[in-house]
Structure 1
């Protein structure tokens, strides 16, 4: 089933500090990418996997509808689903691998109390409800829907807390129920709840690998969500349900979604009036009679540190029952964050795509520091910091390419936070290396390479240095020594190409950090190892080829370099083989010289399908190729970078549910668009060189952070820009002729104006390497 229709944003009914109809937040459409449909994607990876719920920039809380417990569905939601399980306070954006979070699931219900959620096929068999699809609305900081049970549900949030507004029908048995065991990709394994007064409850939910979650337990996610919740209607008829889960039952995704397990939950004991309970599968409910259109509210703070932290977070952020006031503050936070980049020109759809991409790039890495400065450490103990905010969900393999380079321009303080978070995590866990894909303090080991080393090298090169450089270098060196090509000079099967190329690149990053630390021996060592990519280039095939552990070539497949998973993760050698960002010149020489490489790249793009969905050529749906359009700049054909980045922007991004051709991947897919639409993108994070390309918009103004930049703002003007005039004819930097197809990061942060004169034919002189 296709969902190509445009989804309009919900308009607020009150005024923010800026005119909402003209503010950046007014262009945000959270439904973009909010599908996991494999049928629509044509591949098991699915589509964007975003969620449409309410959130604030980099906040701890996201309240969003959940339609499914697990599968390759981290957000717990997919637009084509026809019923809602509930509204959870924590979500992941744009990832698969069974997902995680989706904790503290709240659902308004009427009639008989159900203790299990039911299924998509049989929603009336549980507490889930159908929805009126036309009523579903989402905007920055807000979500609402009318349910088939006649309840209207609305939600908005603050950074550490959230509030839900339910409008009930006339009913003698209305209810708010909270499934404390619920978790995307599995289950919480242990819960506790206590009624603390006539209007409040608090407790916790422990999530461990035994309960599945991230990677069905292989991601090692181990965390506890603490909560403090308050209700506008007194708790006069409340209770707990408790399912008896045998000790010898498995509790991962396949187990908890089985008919046997769900039957046990459906038969849970209902303990009326119980005010305190520990258990393996608990839920809480409060019942009341309601008049027609009666409004009942619930607000809650969460913490990953303690119940006290959750209580304090709520008390500091949502002091009353003013839902619209909280919503207004959320919109103000979004407008402040999104206004770091302002754009003029372009179509309304392009502005919606751009600001929604900004929005999606500002969800993670989220804060998990409480309002009092305490955060959960990697050692399982509370820690306190006044120098940085602890952040989590570092999707390293994805975000080192575009997301973190983007944040180094618009949110450099966040980059400092993330590096400090990774360093402190390694110290607290007693690990001597950096994690590549961190989730709630877990060393998940997801994907490959050493992306944290790239992020540190990029930050340091750009003057973002608010962390212990000696410790950063030590951990970086340990990382590339532990996970790398080593003196052998390659990494063997099964993913020999991907591993060898990515390790060679992060060896180069480690070399830059060694040089910065004054360790010339380390610099020479890692610089030498950065050339390891050459060791898997087979001259007889003219391409990279995987080796076995003894250094022998693996058999060349009949599909050649188009063979998916042949030495390459989630890709083929044609896609992965372009990843030598630190030595494009050396790569081109191996491949037969610039002219041959340019011709091969043109073939690579020309054979890409029009819709840019998952394919064997330029596969924008996955990260290994994201730098490839910019290789033309390095090879002496910048007009082709301009041509193809504009093509990707127009063909792979749309204002629709299926508006992302691949997984959002925690901000990466969106960050690529933001940078490219502005006309800037790196090939090699760790270098300060930023490639210049054809901007989507006529004028882009970037507000710079005075703590990190000398200038106030940097403006890019594209004169005579249009969908036809995509080629740069000439340029000026601060009023002086500029003929480079790249700009240094320091020239951006110095402030000023880059003026590009556009035309409808390629210029074979501007920006060409002399």
Structure 2
């Protein structure tokens, strides 16, 4: 169609809309979609090593139903073992059940996946069986029937001819099963099941003809997070109600010998599964406890008969679970609960509005925003009570207790995003980390917190960054002096110490990251008027210089005596040489607090620019795991924005647009690496609207080429203030900023301060096909 005809067609359609005529193909485009309509929970929902080309796998997200930052995630589970943190992978052909709790985008074997519910027919099976369909209660499912949206999931289990539907509230899950005509239909609940292991003890009681209550204790002896090394130790309490009376019910209990190992690999073994398959079945038992327990209820069903199970959970008590269920799902209206879940997502996702781009690109954006709103999840009951790190009940009072802090990942993009759109969430997180340290009688902040555990996962002191960044931005509804003391204690406990470098296995990564976190302490100390501390930690922030070897022209680990470790044949390209999940070429760019000093060490601006361009140009087209700019992992996430600091902002614009296009897609394999509890998606959300920090703790956000023509950001919680980023003449070719205005006045800087963003305003960027090397320098 020629341009003239296109214009006429557009005009005719506009007239048709005005006078109410029907135009074929117009209805869909004429409808106004809401944010939740663009959410595709299947993006990233794969753990496939084959598709990723690396053992880390792909996104590792879950497709099930949840609410913004909710305690409950009702989701299908296809696998218990391996490094499958979400318990689900799209390519698997069978479902073993539907659990109430999931983690999002994590490796290290994962955890949760508790209270696994499976509708079945026929004879009772007590073991789930293998993913390939081996005998057990799992079922093949019709892939074409599987649908997921914000707050809802459904699939048809072909082995049992049962349609499963899932929805959620913040503390509860609701499952609706449509059964065939059968005289031996069943809902069975595996209380022992846990991603990456097993719960180690369970209890269940039939309270009345419609209700069961109980708990599942998950300890490190049962594997889970880090296969036990993550020290996850929690109890899930539940109150579950059935819409059909329990007249024929019972339990199964596997006899697990005392002293038998119950880690991930043991639970996966044939010998263990044989024990479970031969579990003792007892009917009519009013209550039971055991090491590997399950509950079942048998029903006679008519064709299409629906049975609903609604379940409240709590991490503090059965009473808490009961109260949560009563407060959030008082009736049996599945459709109403589903609608409320969807509306909660529309409200949460409505904090950002983008225009321009295709439907696929909007789906990628809003799903990314959705994934940033899974964690840190609520950890308290509806009455504000939560289980403390001391094993005692506490009341949160003036904040919401939260959990799941994937620190090493989320300090980079996820928390800087939330400081703009959900600052109270950041307050909650800081209060949660500070009170946890007090409850556990520990004098430092955890780097990767999960359900009260100090897991010690990954490296560095990321909580310091989150606190320093929040304070600098005026987010301060916590005990600031106490938080500062914990930051200082943390830096003293884990840091470069008197040597001025770290010589352990990850000497480069640790030294560089500790130097940055020390700088964060100095910033906080300076703001609080603690000049002596400010000077001390400012100096310690320069520790990165201590491991730069001019002879090789790069960062190099030292041993405990100060000698350089042997330089490998591959040089800075060698994976794991002084680094964690990276090589020195990737990790070496992490001096976000002193880019000028880093540039000087590396030989000056021109040399660094040339090296950085090479770093990006060598990346494979699909941007999957590689030895150069490896977007699949966090250490490099700030690197595209370094060009701004090096007075070449057009290269930041070029490469962030490339990353947005090449590393994020509206498909299952749409994330090039683990979602990592919101970090991978938060990077995209910020970059796609044209704003991203290099250095949290500094209030500066770098300006880059927006992926969308316009983005509207509701800043703060309940504010009517909106910050708009408008990219005029924007297109896949016009990726370069030609000029800019802020609130109608010429703007020549390549960065903008947080204070400008949160007071609202309009940043207008004129785009073009070639770099303007004079703008932003």
TM above 0.5, yes or no, is: yes
Give 1:632 shift.
0.1
1:237 to 245, 248, 252: 248
**Which residue pairs with 2:23 in the alignment?**
none
2:347 to 336, 343, 352: 336
Matches within 5 A, 1:302-701: 302-701=313-712
Q: Check whether the contact 1:92–1:99 (CA below 8 A) recurs between aligned residues.
A: yes
Partner SS, residue 133 of structure 1: strand
**Which residue pairs with 2:103 in the alignment?**
92
Distance 1:120 1:68 in 2: 6
Partner SS, residue 144 of structure 2: helix
Structure 1 residues not aligned, in runs of 5+ = 1-18
Distance 1:155 1:491 in 2: 49
Distance 1:706 1:56 in 2: 17
Distance 1:162 1:350 in 2: 30
**Which residue pairs with 1:219 in the alignment?**
230
**Runs of 4 or more above 2 Å deviation:** none
Give 1:518 shift.
1.7
Q: Check whether the contact 1:363–1:666 (CA below 8 A) recurs between aligned residues.
A: yes
1:127 to 127, 133, 137: 137
Give 1:705 shift.
2.1
Q: Check whether the contact 1:706–1:712 (CA below 8 A) recurs between aligned residues.
A: no
1:70 to 81, 84, 87: 81
Q: Check whether the contact 1:61–1:160 (CA below 8 A) recurs between aligned residues.
A: yes
Q: Check whether the contact 2:94–2:133 (CA below 8 A) recurs between aligned residues.
A: no
> Could you list the per-position Cα deviations for residues 6-25 of structure 1 after superposition, in whole angstroms to 9, with x for gaps in the alignment?
xxxxxxxxxxxxx9960000
Q: Check whether the contact 2:52–2:624 (CA below 8 A) recurs between aligned residues.
A: yes
Distance 2:721 2:577 in 1: 48
Matches within 5 A, 1:114-193: 114-123=125-134, 125-148=135-158, 149-193=160-204
Partner SS, residue 541 of structure 2: helix
Matches within 5 A, 1:245-256: 245-256=256-267
Distance 1:70 1:324 in 2: 34
Give 1:161 shift.
0.4
Partner SS, residue 134 of structure 1: strand
1:715 to 697, 712, 724: 724
Matched, 1:766 2:775: yes
Matched, 1:265 2:276: yes
Matched, 1:274 2:285: yes
Q: Please report the RMSD computed on the Cα atoms of aligned residues, expressed in angstroms.
A: 0.9
Matched, 1:200 2:197: no
Give 1:706 shift.
5.8
Q: Check whether the contact 2:423–2:717 (CA below 8 A) recurs between aligned residues.
A: no
> Could you list the per-position Cα deviations for residues 481-528 of structure 1 after superposition, in whole angstroms to 9, with x for gaps in the alignment?
100001211000321000000000000000011112221111111000
Distance 2:581 2:497 in 1: 24
Q: Check whether the contact 1:20–1:26 (CA below 8 A) recurs between aligned residues.
A: no
Q: TM (normalized to structure 2)? A: 0.95
Q: Check whether the contact 1:230–1:300 (CA below 8 A) recurs between aligned residues.
A: yes
Quick one: structure 1 residues 470 and 443, their matched pair in 2 at CA, closer, same or farther if it must change by over 3 Å?
same
Distance 1:700 1:623 in 2: 25
Matched, 1:284 2:308: no
Matched, 1:756 2:757: no
Distance 2:406 2:227 in 1: 17
Distance 2:523 2:42 in 1: 41
Q: Check whether the contact 2:421–2:717 (CA below 8 A) recurs between aligned residues.
A: no
Distance 1:291 1:153 in 2: 16
Q: Say which is worse superposed, 378-387 or 596-605, in terms of deviation.
A: 378-387
Give 1:94 shift.
0.2
Q: Check whether the contact 2:133–2:139 (CA below 8 A) recurs between aligned residues.
A: no
Distance 2:690 2:625 in 1: 25
Q: Check whether the contact 2:58–2:669 (CA below 8 A) recurs between aligned residues.
A: yes
Distance 1:382 1:616 in 2: 48
Give 1:259 shift.
1.1
Distance 1:746 1:21 in 2: 32
Give 1:257 shift.
1.2
Give 1:256 shift.
1.1
Distance 1:281 1:61 in 2: 23
**Which residue pairs with 1:745 in the alignment?**
754
Distance 1:725 1:382 in 2: 57
Across the two proteins, how many residue pairs are aligned to each other?
Answer: 747
Distance 1:388 1:378 in 2: 17
Q: Check whether the contact 2:630–2:636 (CA below 8 A) recurs between aligned residues.
A: yes
> Could you list the per-position Cα deviations for residues 530-586 of structure 1 after superposition, in whole angstroms to 9, with x for gaps in the alignment?
000000000011110111111111111111111000001000000000000000000
Distance 1:122 1:649 in 2: 38
**Which residue pairs with 1:12 in the alignment?**
none
Q: TM (normalized to structure 1)? A: 0.96
Partner SS, residue 486 of structure 1: coil
Distance 1:355 1:664 in 2: 15
> Could you list the per-position Cα deviations for residues 97-152 of structure 1 after superposition, in whole angstroms to 9, with x for gaps in the alignment?
010000000000000000110111343x1110000111100000000000011000
> Could you list the per-position Cα deviations for residues 672-705 of structure 1 after superposition, in whole angstroms to 9, with x for gaps in the alignment?
0000000000000000000000000111000122
Give 1:285 shift.
0.4
Q: Check whether the contact 1:487–1:529 (CA below 8 A) recurs between aligned residues.
A: no
Structure 2 residues not aligned, in runs of 5+ = 1-29
